[in-house]
């Protein structure tokens, strides 16, 4: 029996059901593997009082410290984050909060390995915990944990030290592996571990009918991702302004909502662009499969789940050359990789609308990205680390 402690600050809860849902899905897949038992520790940071009195933090404070989440036993300890410190103390604070939690957990669940599913602050904390309990540690890099925390002056050293001290390293794409090497981690120690997609749920549908359910007639583009500058939604809005008769639905929520709404108004496309807010993950297949194109103008990525989910739905994608884009768009039926500007996005979308690939041809590009393959690879990786430490 392989006993795995999954540590992730990127994990859904009742207030954020879509947050880190790919980590949830990976962990569920691992727990379903034969002879594997998993416990999850999903901490979240809380600022000192009086900021905790804000509505957002009051909602999080009400979340149970221990619960069964989709069959997974989950501990949700809190750790203190200090605004204005650029994350300098996040890992140290997280480590302190986890020591007593894991001391208690280890009595009933003597875990063999710690699987940190995000690099910061999870990675440095996992290394400290691995030393305390004498177990190997694996850390996975996904995107912003390297591109942001791995380059910030206050945290870059902590990211590098954790990566060098960990027993195993995972990267969500070959491009992410190179990015990790660029900050000083040994590329030969990093295993590429692609994300997965539920091919039964994300599948082609009859598009005209699906569009009708959404109140759309004519060509439809969707964009799926948090409303943050890095996702480039304003660029897609500007591209749609160059494509008369094309509608755009944006699924996501975040701090850039007002600037995206301003871009919609500025470009005069309020009748063709709809911000849908946070869409439950269970509703995404129908939305994406209804679209003729999925467009996402990311400034940086690891390997976005939305890319693969779109391909599985038979919906070609228009994306930037960020992260693992070239590992996903491997043929014309998958879509286009273009520069991060509105004109390039408009041209690529128009090209796919003029000559759309067959949905099944697009879907074939997603068939290698399964959650079964993801879970089996993760189990094998962790088993090797445990065997080496025996």
* Domain 207-366 in this protein, CATH class: alpha beta
Percent of the chain with pLDDT over 70: 99
Q: What is the dihedral of CA 223, 229, 232, 233, to 10 degrees?
A: 40
Parse the chain into domains and list their residue ranges. Answer: 2-196+370-389, 207-366
Backbone angles phi, psi at 173, to 5 degrees: -155, 165
pTM confidence score: 0.88
pLDDT of residue 143: 86
The structure tokens listed for 77 are 């300890």
- The stretch 45-68 carries a mean pLDDT of 82
Count CB-CB contacts under 10 A for residue 97: 18
Domains 2-196+370-389 and 207-366 share a fold: yes
Contact criterion met (CB below 8 Å) for 378 and 343: no
Contact criterion met (CB below 8 Å) for 76 and 42: yes
Query: What confidence category does residue 144 fall into, taking pLDDT thresholds of 50, 70 and 90?
Result: confident
Closest alpha carbon to 292 in 353, 241, 250: 353
Q: pLDDT of 78-109, one tens digit each? A: 999 998 899 999 999 999 999 999 999 999 99
Closest alpha carbon to 382 in 35, 39, 113, 1: 113
Backbone angles phi, psi at 37, to 5 degrees: -125, 135
Q: pLDDT of 176-190, one tens digit each? A: 999 999 999 999 999
**Which fold, 2-196+370-389?**
Rossmann fold (3.40.50)
Largest Cα–Cα distance in the chain?
64
* Secondary structure of residue 121 in the 3-state scheme: coil
pLDDT at 59 over 90: no
């Amino acid at each position: 029996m392989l006993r795995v402690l999954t540590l992730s600050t990127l994990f859904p809860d009742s207030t954020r059901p879509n947050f880190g849902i790919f980590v949830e899905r990976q962990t569920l897949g691992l727990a379903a593997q034969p002879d594997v038992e998993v416990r999850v520790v999903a901490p979240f940071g809380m600022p000192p009082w009086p900021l905790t009195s804000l509505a957002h933090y009051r909602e999080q404070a009400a979340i149970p410290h221990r619960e069964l989440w989709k069959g997974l036993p989950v501990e949700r300890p809190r750790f203190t984050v200090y605004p204005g410190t650029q994350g300098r103390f996040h890992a140290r604070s997280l480590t302190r909060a986890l020591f007593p939690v894991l001391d208690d957990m280890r009595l009933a669940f003597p875990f063999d390995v710690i699987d940190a599913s995000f690099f910061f602050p999870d990675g440095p904390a996992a290394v400290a915990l691995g030393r305390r309990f004498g177990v190997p540690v694996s850390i996975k890099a996904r995107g912003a944990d390297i591109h942001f925390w791995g380059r910030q002056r206050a945290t870059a050293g902590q990211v590098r030290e954790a990566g060098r001290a960990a027993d195993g390293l995972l990267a969500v794409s070959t491009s992410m592996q190179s990015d990790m090497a660029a900050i000083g981690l040994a590329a030969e120690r990093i295993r590429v571990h692609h994300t997965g997609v539920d091919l039964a749920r994300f599948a082609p549908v009859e598009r005209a009918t699906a569009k009708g359910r959404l109140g759309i007639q004519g060509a439809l583009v969707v964009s799926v991702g948090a409303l943050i500058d890095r996702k480039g939604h304003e660029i897609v809005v500007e591209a749609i302004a160059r494509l008369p008769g094309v509608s755009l639905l944006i699924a996501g929520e975040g701090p850039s909502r007002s600037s995206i709404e301003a871009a919609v108004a500025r470009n005069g496309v309020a009748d063709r662009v709809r911000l849908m807010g946070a869409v439950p993950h269970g509703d995404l297949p129908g939305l994406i499969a209804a679209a003729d194109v999925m467009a996402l103008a990311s400034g940086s990525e690891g390997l976005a789940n939305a890319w693969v989910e779109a391909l599985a739905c038979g919906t070609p994608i228009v994306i930037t050359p960020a992260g693992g884009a070239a590992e996903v768009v491997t043929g014309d039926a998958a879509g286009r990789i273009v520069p991060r500007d509105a004109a390039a996005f408009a041209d690529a979308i128009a090209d796919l609308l003029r000559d759309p690939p067959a949905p099944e041809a697009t879907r074939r590009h997603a068939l290698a990205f399964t959650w079964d393959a993801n879970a089996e690879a993760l189990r094998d990786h962790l088993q090797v680390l445990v065997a080496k430490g025996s």
